[in-house]
Structures are given as structure tokens and as C-alpha cells.
Structure 1
Amino acid sequence: MDRLKDKVAIVFGAGPNIGGTTAHFLAREGARVCVTDVREDAASGTAQFIRERGWEAVSMVGDARNDADVQRIVAATVEKYGRLDIVVNMAGRVHWADVLDMQLDDWQDSVASFATAGMLTTQHSARAMLACGSQGSIIHLLSTAAHFGEADGAAYCAAKAALLNFARSAAMDLAHHGIRVNTVTPCSMEHQLWTTMRDEMFDPDWKQPERRGFYSRQEYLDQLPLRRFPRAADLAMATVFLASDESACMTGADLPVDAGLRFKYPTWTPGKHDPVDIGDYARATRVTRYGEEQELLTELLGEPIERP
């Protein structure tokens, strides 16, 4: 559990799912972690969870899209711990709209949430790493949207794709300093069954939204060769690997954590050959917070789960 011993990390974007789990897994491998979020309760809740388990963590409030906030967070972390070795950026907001109906403000917010936040967190973190003599690791969380076009998702797809190629270019700029920049790409996550998709799973009167880019959980599950959704812990473990010296010769790389989705043949539907009913899947799923298993999903949200 000492793969990151004596290293200092910042995680931009907290909460009990991806960001909080990543911060938790970094800390349990020995890193001292600064957890940041635009919501004070999300940042402080994650830091408290980590400290309760005997590891070092502090929380700070800030917006990764804001230059002054990112500078302040990086400077405060270095002042407290004396160095900076790892930065994980997973901040951002999603806007869905057909390109004909897209609002300029939503487009600009998407670009700021992902591409601009990626640039700011990389730039200020890399400067701090150089100043303290650290050959650090910077990791950005992406989405399958960075690699594909999605109906109603032009703003999200464009912003994530921009972040992907920004990270690749930044990796080239920083390589001669020994600073690595890599990315992790998940697809739709298991925790969305009890967050953004809970009505679909548990409301017997739920109606499918009238949106061209919409797909049901069953339709998504049917596309996954490994027949399960990725969990926050899966992303956190990939991030720990990229943060550690085990990946010392990797930069500009993207790790897909997507149950095989990106690499399957487009017209092949795994669910037709190895069927898994989304209701059965949900009934067997345990809710996780910060990567630790809690109650069964049905215990949290109640029965029944009758429809795909």
C-alpha cells in the first residue's frame, strides 16, 4: 500500500463516486491529498472520509475553470506539503442539446469545464512541479465522448475530444521535463444506476425521454463485452497506476476503462449472445461510496426493478 509514499496529490472534482474514490485510493497508497471541488461539502466530505481512515487529506473549494482558483489551490498545496507530484482532473459539467438548438452559453460552459479546466490544471500544476523539482504525473478523466460522436452531445463530445488532444500535446511539451500527462477513458458508469439513472431503474411510471441521443441502461449494457459497467474503483485503480512509478515510461497515453466498448466491432451486440437483464444486474449491484461497498442498490432505492 505504499506505491505513492511521500508523494503529494491534488484531485480536482470530489464526491463519493469517481473523484472521492480516486482521492481515497491515492491516499491509501501513501499520497498526501488535497481534494477540491466547487461544493464545499463535497470536498470536505471526501477529505474527512480519508482522514477517518488514518491518511492525510485536506479540502479546498475552487473552480477548475477559474485561473485564480487553480493558482490558489496549487500554491496552497505546495505551501502546506512542500511539493506536488500528482494531479488528477475530473471536473466538468455536461450539457445535452441537438446542435440546432444548442445555446452558446452551454457550449462555452462545456469548453470551459473540460478543455479550459484541463489547460489550467495542467499549466499551474506543471509549473509547481518544475519549481519543486518533481517529475510528476498529471491525469485527466475523459469519456467515450472524446472518441465518438453522440447525438445531442456535440458540446460534450467536442470539449472532451479537445481535452484528449490537449493532454497529448501537453505530454509532448512536458516530456523533456520528466512530467507525464495521461488520460483515462470510462464509459457510462455503474454508479449512474443510483444517481442520474435512478428514475429509469426504479420508477414504474418512468417514460423514456424524447431525445435522439438517449439510450436505456439495458441498451448500454448490451454493448459491453465484459457484461458490466465500470465502477469508480476501476477508474481509481487505473489512475493510481498512472500516478505511480509503475507507469514511468508512459506519457500521452489514454487508458480505456470501458468493459471493452471502444474496441468491439460496431455491429456486434454482446448482449444478444450473452444476455444480462438490467433488472437482475441492478438487484445484484452494491452501492459504493469512495470505493467501499455499501448496501444493495435495491435496499437503497427500494423495489421493484421490473423493466429493462
Structure 2
Amino acid sequence: MKHKILLTLLTMILVLGAKAQQAALDTIQIRGLIMVKGKDAAGKNIFRAYQDTAYARNKLKRNLHTRWLVFDVGFNNYRDRSDYSAAMIMSLYYPGQPNNLPAYADYIVADKRYDYSGSALNTFAPRNASEPLTPSEFKLIPGKSMNFNIWLLMQRLNIHKHKLNLVYALGVEMNNYRYARSITYVPGYPTTIIRDSIEFSKNKLFAQYLTIPVMLNFNSNPARPGRSFELSLGVSGGYLLKSRTKQVSEERGKMKRTDDFNLNKWRFGLTGEIAYGPIKLYSNFALTPLHDYGLEQYPFAVGFRFNGF
């Protein structure tokens, strides 16, 4: 009799343990997200996801929140404010050599070879008067001019009731500018951009920056992050880590050059983020030109931001 009772109790314990284990396997929680596996009326497996509001409320007890490895995927382009008309005037004389202009043209030059004047543009991208420099030479392929950013660390500091916060980060911005025309950067002193004689299947400039953005963040519903609206606006500063060009053609194969290519070492701009729940969009607008002189192009990027952990 005792053996039967013990056997029955053991069987009940095993059954209850199996059910508990099955329940544990059917419910998964990842930070503030709870996913539950169940069955519908027809017996098919279904999955439901819930926001754990208790988890969100517990997070509000901390004033500093940290995310690791946040990354962005977007597209690059730029606003071109280069003085092409003045560069065409310079090309009427000695292309790329504005200091050799006649005396009556000195008022045009005024030793401005290394700013954003037409003289400097003609130095950076010298052309003959019969084939003057035009904005179309620097046209990008928008769908292939990609922007990738990796934010190693992103923190949010509570200022007022978690609705007003200070957001800052440290990361690397990687910008690809895919040119539609056959232009080539020729490193040297000074660097020049020439029209090439062959067609490239790929022709791009790559620039990588170490960047620190600082933004003021508004969060409409800190306790329900899955249903909150967020808006962040601020500034960013970056330093050029590396730059290179990559060209692919039948005649030359694959060619890579590494140089600073007359790019600005420092980059300053405006940055922003808008989000609803887990969907986030970012934007960056440079206030400093891409190049150190000559071409006055102000890059910008827009895309999606993905939370890290």
C-alpha cells in the first residue's frame, strides 16, 4: 500500500514538473517584451507579445539608462553650394593655376585658392574652358550611397520625470558616396579631381568618423515605451578616422586608394531622431563642408535606427 502511495505521489510530481517546464518553455521574456506561445480553437500554435509594464516602471527608478551597440542604416547625399560659375571664369585663363592670371584679374583671385571660392574650386577640380566644371560631375547614386553607423555606447540621462532627457553617444559613422560619373581623386599636393577616360561600374568615396552626438530628448510615455512618441534634437561632432576611394572597371580591375583626399578633418552638424515605439528614424545634417576647400558640399543622411542591448 505504501509503495502504491509513493508511486502515485512520484507520478504526480513528475507530471506537475513536466507541465511547469512546458509552461516555462512556452513563455519567453526578453527585457521588457514577453512572448507567449499558445493554441487557438483549431489547435494551431499561436504567439502573442506583450509589453511588461512592471519592467518599464522598474527602469524608471534609474536615472541613467545605457544601450550598447546601437546601429543605423540609411542613405547619404549632400547639398552642393560650390561656386561653379566662378570656377568657369577661372578656367578661361590657366586651369588650376589662378596665381598666373593677368594683373587685371587679381581682384577676382585675391589669394583665395584654399577656401570655397571659384579659384579654389578650379584648383581642386581643374577644367578647360571648353569643358567647364558642372554640378552633375558630382552627382550621387542615392540608393547606393549608404550610411552605416555603430554607436558603441548610447546613454540617456533623466532631467525631468523621464519625459525630458539628455541623450549622448560614442560611435563610428561610415559614409559611402557612390558617384554616377567617371571622376577620379588624384592624391597629391594639392589633391585634384579629374574626369577619367574610362567608365566605372563602381566609383565611390568612403569616409569614416569618430562621432559624439548630444541631444535633448522628449518621451511622451516613459512607462509604456511600446506606445510612446519620442523626439530628439541636438548637435554632433566628429573626427575623420580614415578615407579611401574604390573604383571597379574592366580596364583597371579593382582599385583602392587611401588618402585624406582634401576632406575636412573635423565635422560638426545637427542630428535628430523621431520614434514611435520600437520604430526609429534618424537624420544628420552637416554644418561643415565635406571637403577642406574648393567643393562646398554639405552632407546629410537619413535612415532607420535599431536598438542595441
> For the pair shown, which has the larger CA radius of gyration, 1 or 2?
2
Q: Same fold (TM over 0.5)?
A: no
Q: Which has the higher helix share?
A: 1
TM-score range, shorter chain: under 0.3
**TM-score if structure 1 supplies the norm length?**
0.22
